[in-house]
A and B are shown apart, each in its own frame.
Chain A
């Protein structure tokens, strides 16, 4: 059995799965708030939709990491890794899995509050965007470390 390949695929799956789950929860929470605002004021749809979508990016980042790993370990391309290389792939995926999951949920809650802000003060949309966008920083940092780790794995191991 190719344990190295298994670990690499497990890592890719966790990165895509957990980051996706974080986004799903986040977009879900923000979606409830968005639905509430649109029930009262249908003209707010486009504004609250953007805020609802902000927590959705973690899922895309997770997908990206998963895709890169799969394209290097012999599933979509590249070579089947050794056990130690597989372990490194697994470790490299963890920042995205954990960072994506937690930041997705947190960003969703923040978006919900921002949607409340827009409901009360539609003219403050620009500021309302900034608060949930701050949470995005940490999803991007997690993505960055995962990408640097994956691309930095020495070929000789």
Chain B
């Protein structure tokens, strides 16, 4: 939207958000959930807080409803939802992967498509099944065509996923930088870099070669892809040494623990960078911070409830729950 009357200051949206932030779950609430005796008790506490709906007890449905509530709310308060594409593109590319697999294997599972992307899942599915890639945006059409061709030729689903994932990271980074907002740009850079690190670690552990890394690692402004590739080829310790001189120095310890610990560290790093958004009265930054905060709390609640269902001790859950924004 290039309408000059569009409110570029986001004053209305940010003020609305300040009130909505009061309803975000804080650390004490997470603790209360962890301490709940049973999953049912925890769900009851969440419902009292307005989560899910009264008529459904299904947990997946509850998480789906919360994500939908978040996006409906953001759509309601901002003039142009496309500014927040960094958070939505992942769903598009996941749908693309699902559609490619469904098309090549000639089966279709309607439930595998994610909502809240920038494009309707149906559109991606149709474009892939009829091979009319032109209907997709450029960032997606080229890779869709290429991945489809590679998948058909090699039958290698993993290779196809890697190609699409890289295109996804590139699209996220581009969308982040395009907004011109420093916080959203930083988020996109951190997300790309964190995904690259995860890929490099996995590639290193499974002994992948340089060609694989070149194909999988996306360009990032805060991490040299060349440096990461060389480190990944030399071994896990080299990755640690390489990261020690970057923004991810603190993550080296976490990487040694587990991939889950690293992911938590990355989420917490972003939450930490979000702190300054508490004091911003204008711009899309505070809205982006709210989206991340809501997505993180949904993630944390999912971890707690899954842990409770499987009888994990409270201490284990505490280690996995993300820091809260409020």
Contacts and interface: CB of A to CB of B under 8 A. Distances in A.
Interface of A: 29-30, 32-37, 39-41, 109, 112-113, 115-117, 119-120
A80 B320 CA distance: 80
Interface stretch (B15-23, B127-135, B308-316): B15-23
B86 to A, nearest CB: 23
Interface in B1-58: 7, 9, 11-22
A75 to B, nearest CB: 37
Nearest to A34: B15
A35 B12 CA distance: 6
Given A35-B15, A109-B281, 19 more contacts: A33-B14, A34-B15, A35-B12, A36-B13, A36-B15, A36-B77, A37-B15, A37-B16, A37-B18, A40-B16, A40-B20, A109-B282, A112-B9, A112-B11, A112-B282, A113-B279, A116-B18, A117-B18, A119-B16
Nearest to B21: A120
B22 A36 contact: no
- Residue from the set B9, B15, B279 with the largest chain A CB neighbour count within 10 Å: B15
Interface in B49-101: 77
From DSSP, what is the main secondary structure of chain A's interface residues?
helix
A36 B11 CA distance: 8
Contacts of B9: 29, 32, 112
Nearest to B11: A32
Contact of A113 (B13, B17, B77, B281): B281
A29 B10 CA distance: 10
B20 A116 contact: no
17 contacts: A29-B9, A29-B11, A32-B7, A32-B12, A32-B15, A33-B15, A35-B15, A36-B13, A36-B15, A37-B15, A39-B16, A113-B281, A115-B15, A116-B18, A119-B15, A119-B16, A120-B19
Interface of B: 7, 9, 11-22, 77, 279, 281-282
A33 B21 contact: no
Nearest to A114: B281
Given A32-B12, A36-B13, A113-B281, A41 B7 contact: no
- Residue from the set A35, A115, A119 with the largest chain B CB neighbour count within 10 Å: A119
A37 B22 CA distance: 12
A19 B15 CA distance: 26
A120 B9 CA distance: 19
A120 B278 CA distance: 10
B281 A112 contact: yes
A148 to B, nearest CB: 35
B15 A112 contact: yes
Contacts of B279: 113
Nearest to B77: A36
Contacts of A30: 11
Nearest to B14: A116
Contacts of A109: 281-282
A30 B301 CA distance: 36
B325 to A, nearest CB: 12
A39 B11 CA distance: 13
A139 B11 CA distance: 23
B77 to A, nearest CB: 7
